[in-house]
Chains A and B, each alone.
Chain A
Amino acid sequence: MKTEYDLIVIGGGPAGLAAATAAYDQGLRDILIVERDRFLGGILNQCIHTGFGLQEFREELTGPEYAQRFVDKTLEDGIPFLLDTMVLAVRPDRTIVAISPKLGRLELHAKAIVLSMGCRERTRAAIMVPGTRPAGVMTAGTAQRYMNVEGYLPGHNVVILGSGDVGLIMARRFTLEGARVNAVLEIMPYSTGLTRNIVQCLDDYGIPLLLNHTVTSVHGGKRVTGVSIAQVDDYRRPVPGTEREIACDTLITSVGLVPENELSKTAGVQLDPITGGAVVNQRLQTSVPGVFACGNVLQVHDLVDNVSEESQRAGRSAALYVQDKLPQTLRSIRVVPASGIRYVVPQCVDVTEQTETIKLFMRPSDVFKGASVELRTDSREEPLAKFRRSRLTPGEMVVLTVQGTVFAAVEADILVGVKVL
């Protein structure tokens, strides 16, 4: 088989398919998608609930339906893809090492690479939930796969730790299959999930959301028999006297998603310690020439619609890179999170002759009501730009559309911070 490509896209989930099809639309033809699973579409295949595509297609689709739109486009364009093929390493010279049962061990080279490997779930162990280690403890995503893809029920009597979106969705899913969901516990004073999911998945089914609560111990030798829970104080420490036990046979965790950047590391890509993803500019270029990153491997998104948009930009940029049509960079402006903001992606903006309008993605570090997000340089008194928001919460990503002239007008770093009104 051929070993040289213009563009190799690693991952055939929503990010990879959007990047590949956008590169195609930009005129690139020599593209290969490498997917480790037996199907294209990635994690969306197990997300059988609705709520996808409101932005991208102005329709409410299920995960598989949303994925299918991009799979269809990939097939129409005739973009080649490998299934059941796992990339083991990406080298800085854009050689990838992959294995597959059919093709054996492959070494392929590309002029450009898009990293779109997605993310994984943080585990119980990563957040040090004490107790025993019985069967019946699993992440929300694993439970979702067992139920929606494999067709099995992982437990009858459930407690959910963490109010991330997958956990909220699974609270409803377990309930619909006849299991009892005792409570969803959230250690923070606010949910990290989308408001619409709290309403549609918990409130509508009478499932209590216990904020400022955590699991202090898991019980059971072979299978979970219960969990101890407690209220926590401002420092997230259990408050003595508030501990109580809930009998259950299953503990589902939904305690955060982590970009899967093992391959980015082998490629030598510089990572942002806060996002866990690559450091990129507005074209989704990483620190390694010709290597682009997009989707949940870059930053964990709330909405797949944003993944698609970001990945299309990455695909277009990768195509322009291969075609040597990217505009020349005059200088780079760093975009730095300031008070109230945890991170901003892209981490830098390349100013060109005609800097385009730029979308800045960011997460607030706390809940703010009646606030504005402001862009300023150290030297200026007046903000460069100001965006009013009635409510900011860490569970919902903030997207700001900023005119290119804002960046073209400055020389120094731009700080992005929250100002409470």
Chain B
Amino acid sequence: MTEQRGGGQMLDVVIIGAGVVGCATARELSRYCLNVTVCERAAEVGQGGATKANTGIVHAGYDPMPGTLMARLNVRGNAMYDQLTADLGVHMERHGTLVVAFSPFERAHLEELLARGQANGVPGLRILDHRELMELEPNLSPEADSALFAATGGAIEPYELTLALAENAALNGVEFLFEHPVRSVKPISGGWRVEAGERLLETRFVVNAAGLFADDISRMAGAGGFHIRPRLGQYLLLEDRADYDVQRPLFQVPTPMGKGIVVSRTPDGNIIAGPTADDAQDKDDLATTADGLARVLTGARKSIPRLDTRQLVAEFTGARAVIAEQGDFLVEQGAAGFFNAAGIKSPGLTAAPAIAEELVLLLKGAGLDTTSNPAFIPTNTHVPLFRECSPEQQKRMIVEDPRYGRIVCRCETVTEGDIVRAIHRPTGARTVDGLKFRTRAGMGRCQGGFCGPRVLEILCRELGLDPLSVTKCGAGSEILAGRLRPEGENDA
């Protein structure tokens, strides 16, 4: 994969979308001797859509209906996570998941899920009585009656996984184009021409992993056939505290009122509660609402009564890509050489590595040459963040690079060394949000109030940017609006 990409070179695969499915597919394809380019409309990996804002759960696979693609890819994806996270150095907490029933009546639903899970081939399912349940989760409401325990369930930071997949793909030769929205996808002789930003890419195959916009892309290619609606899910993120802490994702048995609110603990140590599930029209409107946040809070307190809003860190909305016409994932060849991975709603994060495998199989079937890439490296060089290290390691880090001795983000103990690293890694950070999702700088209780100006300064210094051009999340989201002193007089 060392050859130069000339202007008119025919690529093997263009992937549209750098969310978890696009990045998993890119990484899977980087195992072979192929020229692969990923086009993303957002400024960073995993920042364009559903990947950025979801509950971050590795689902066991008892939920999808037996026989569906969703069921198969969920169970397969779940089984791939141990190896995947070990290879990529991604943090996963696999302590099982619980579906909580709040009455003997609801317990019947647990039996149904258990049977469904067994039909799907999910190992490690068990129904817990009240006593066993309270031992596992002491902060759970005493109203909890029983629960389905799924041993293979877990929690992960979705963007951390996606960043690691992208980095590994880039390390193995995949090219990433950010802020390159795809404007057209047209068939040409022997393949497709994809117009992305100012680039014209010619490729034999196209993988459409455009999430919420997969229907638009499919229509551009003339494959069409489905419509995607955003289903909005609002979330609350809190600092953890002993009296409402949870150890694992806690689902609720669905009621006629809704699917229930999940309370979970993120691997980074926050408590997350959500999502609502409201169908919407506008794919770009990710506003939270007073009503939605109130529903999340009420629902979450049904499980964990002591949740304290004084510990709130953030509220946000994620959009799940729902195909109106069907409940299942759509992974198919939409047109000759054009493949869709669409309608990837929950459990899409869990299924993503299996969806990638599935897409590669389809591509092979369509004639993609899968000669192994002898230089493929399955692992990322894991550089731990300062706060994850032992005192001895921290001492060494500061001696080797004094920038590790300077705290930039106080809330999350992020050092200048961590930030500089995150900028200069493959597919490194270019924006304030990009740094936030890589290092947690600005993700804590002060939400970047203290570190924002410092982060901006480091981005400018490391990337040679003008401060006025630094953005939160790509062009149009500039942080600053003007200069109060002539240029060059701003150095403290």
Contacts and interface: CB of A to CB of B under 8 A. Distances in A.
A132 interface: yes
Interface string B364-405: 000000000000000000000000000100110011001111
Contacts of A134: 472, 477
Interface string B473-487: 111111111111100
Nearest to B43: A222
B476 A154 contact: no
B287 A130 contact: yes
A153 B453 contact: no
B489 interface: yes
B340 interface: no
A101 B403 contact: yes
A29 interface: no
A135 B312 contact: no
A191 B293 CA distance: 27
Contacts of A151: 483-485, 489-490
A135 B315 contact: no
B453 A177 contact: no
A156 interface: yes
B480 A154 contact: yes
Nearest to B473: A222
B312 A125 contact: yes
B143 to A, nearest CB: 26
A131 B293 CA distance: 11
Given A149-B492, A216-B290, A138 B481 contact: no
B9 interface: no
Interface residues of A, number: 52
Interface string A338-359: 0000000000000000000000
A205 interface: no
Contacts of A221: 284-286, 476
Nearest to B405: A101
Given A146-B480, A216-B290, A101 B473 contact: no
A141 to B, nearest CB: 6
Contacts of A308: none
A155 interface: yes
B289 interface: yes
Given A88-B413, A132-B285, A104 B405 contact: yes
Contacts, number: 153
A71 B391 CA distance: 33
Nearest to B401: A101
A46 B130 CA distance: 56
Interface in A172-208: 177
Contact of A125 (B290, B314, B404, B483): B314
Interface in A89-144: 97, 99-105, 120-121, 123-126, 128, 130-135, 138-139, 141-142
B450 A120 contact: yes
A150 interface: yes
A135 B479 contact: yes
A104 B386 CA distance: 13
A134 B483 CA distance: 21
A219 B289 CA distance: 11
B435 to A, nearest CB: 14
A36 interface: yes
Contacts of B287: 130-132, 217-219
**Which of B292, B309, B405 has the most chain A CB atoms inside 10 A of its CB?**
B405
A36 B413 CA distance: 12
A338 B465 CA distance: 56
Contact of A99 (B292, B398, B480, B490): B398
Interface of B: 284-290, 292-293, 309-310, 312-316, 391, 394-395, 398-399, 402-407, 410, 413, 415-416, 445-450, 452-453, 457, 467-468, 471-485, 489-490, 492
Interface of A: 36, 38, 84, 86, 88, 97, 99-105, 120-121, 123-126, 128, 130-135, 138-139, 141-142, 145-147, 149-156, 177, 216-219, 221-223, 238, 249-250
18 contacts: A38-B492, A97-B391, A99-B394, A99-B404, A105-B398, A120-B449, A121-B446, A125-B315, A130-B289, A130-B293, A132-B288, A135-B473, A139-B449, A145-B453, A150-B492, A153-B484, A154-B481, A223-B477
Given A125-B447, A221-B286, A223-B477, 15 more contacts: A36-B410, A86-B407, A99-B394, A104-B399, A105-B395, A125-B315, A130-B315, A132-B286, A134-B472, A135-B479, A142-B450, A151-B489, A152-B468, A152-B481, A153-B480
Closest 10 interchain pairs by CB?
A101-B402, A222-B476, A101-B405, A135-B472, A222-B477, A153-B482, A86-B407, A135-B477, A151-B485, A123-B447
